[in-house]
Each structure stands twice: as structure tokens, then as C-alpha cells.
Amino acid sequence: MASSSREALEARTNEELALLWQRERQPAAREILIGRFEGYAKGHAVKRRYLATVDDVRQEVRMAVIDAIDAYDPARGGSLATVVDYKRKERLTAMITQRTLLSGIDAKVIQVHASCMRKGMDSEQAVLATAAKRRRKPDRVRMAVERNVPVAGFDDLQQDPASEDPVAAIMERIERKELRPMIAAALAGLPERDRRILLACDVGRDDRTASYQQVADAEGISRERVRQLLHRARGRLRDALVRMDSELALRAEDHRRRTAA
């Protein structure tokens, strides 16, 4: 009986399964949808393997599928795949932007370099092509790429008391000096564990980032919980930076008006 029920679900469309999950919370309906988009997650993970670990990207895309299943609304038109694609872009953009921001790296440099690598160029050819396209010195491109490549084996999340302050180290790597106090203040406003997870996943130590599983093992929590805390920390950091940037803009405008008067 269960087998025939499963077969009946398998015969349904993506959209029908999404609505079935929303209305009746049938686990099998969501499992089938996640399975159908599994290849989608793998494909995007491989494409972006130069930006983050394959496992992390697959996890973000998988969560995008789950988000899309909950968010799908037939009244708006379109397919579930369209919603998945939107959620996927939203999650991957947030992950990559946060990593590049905190590492002081130009996200476009990393993206262009990754694109060159996918076209079959070797590392040095990709560096030179990226430098020419983005008008950067090759050495700066190499440095950005080296900083942004996660290295397996990062399993020590606790900062060595004898080493330098991790936030101070980040500040030194950020070229735009006006961003340094804003980022430092935003990081300081995060809960300690959120900040620790954010720094481990998006910055790392000695230019090495940790995977979600490595952070989960070190913190004694599940990988899903790591993803939730990381997503929350990224959102809080982003909101803080936007708020500070708006305040700076208002102050600058106020100063301009007073000067003009």
C-alpha cells in the first residue's frame, strides 16, 4: 500500500507535490522534490567549486529547494523550478558576498577567475585573463584567489589566545578604509557563537575556511543548525552594515547642507 502511494506521488508534478506539502505536510512529497532537484544542486556546486567547498554549495542549494517548496504560490504563476532558481541565487549570492566582504576580496575578481577556470584555462592563464578584464595587477588576483580557496582539514575553530585578534586581522585585509570601523562594529554586535561560526565559515584562519561539517563537529551541533546560525549571522551583519551606511550617508548630506549654507 505504501509502495503504491509512493508511486502515485512520483507521478505528480513538482507544483502538485509542493502544494501537497504545504497543505498536508506529507514528508514523502518533499523528499521526492528534494530528490528531483538533487542533480540541480550538484551542478551548481561543481560550477562554484572555486568559490566555496562543494559540500557547502550543495547544502545552500538544497536549502534553497526547501525554501522554494514552502514559498511556491500558484496564484503568482510560474513553475516551482523558477522559485528554486530565485532562492538559489539569493542564497549563493549571500554566501559568496559575505565571504568576499569579510576577506577583503573583490567578488568580481573571484567570479571572473572561476569562469576562466571553467573554460579550461590553467590557473596562471586564468589569473592573467582576470587581471586584464578587471584591470587588476596579476599579483592581486593571485592573492585574492589564494585567500578565497577553502582548504580541507580546518578543524580548530578556537582562536589561539597568543595569536592576533581575528577581527583585527580582517580589518587589515579590507582595502576600503572607511568600511573597517563599520565591519568591526557590526561583527562586535553579533552573539559570540554566531560571530565565531561566521568567521570560521566565511573567513577562516590563516586564509583557510571551515566547511559546515567541520564547524558542526567543533561546536557539537548539527550541520543544519550551523547553516541556520550562519544564515542568521549573515543577515544581521548585512542589516547592520546597511544601517551604518545609511547613517553615514545622512551625516554626509547634513554636513554638505551646513557647509553650503
pLDDT tens for 65-107 read 888 888 888 888 788 888 888 888 777 777 766 666 665 556 6
Give the model confidence (pLDDT) of 215-229 as tens digits: 888 888 888 888 888
Question: Both 132 and 183 in a single domain?
Answer: no
**208 and 165 co-located in one domain:** yes
Are 40 and 84 in contact by the 8 Å Cβ rule? The answer is yes
The mean pLDDT value of the chain amounts to: 73
The predicted pLDDT at position 98 comes to 66
Q: Are residues 253 and 167 in the same domain?
A: yes
Q: pLDDT, tens digit, for every residue of 20-52?
A: 999 888 888 888 888 888 776 666 655 555 455
**Cβ atoms of residues 195 and 187 within 8 Å:** yes
Domain that holds residue 138: 104-149
Which residue bears the cell 572561476? 114
CA distances from 256 to 178, 182, 243 (A): 18, 21, 20
DSSP state of 74: G
State whether 89 and 192 are in the same domain. no
Residues 32 and 65 in one domain: yes
- Please tell me whether residues 76 and 118 are part of one structural domain: no
Q: Band of the pLDDT at 128, cuts 50, 70, 90?
A: very high
- Contact predicate 129/122, CB 8 Å: no
Phi-psi region of 251 (alpha: psi -120 to 50; beta: other; left: phi over 0): alpha
Number of domains making up the chain: 3
Indicate if 29 and 84 belong to the same structural domain: yes
Q: How far apart are the first and last CA of the chain?
A: 81
Which has the closest alpha carbon to 207: 105, 124, 58, 57? 105
Is the CB of residue 95 less than 8 Å from the CB of residue 209? no
* Mean pLDDT confidence for 221-240: 82
Q: What is the pLDDT of residues 159-192, one digit of tens each?
A: 333 344 555 555 555 555 666 677 777 788 888 8
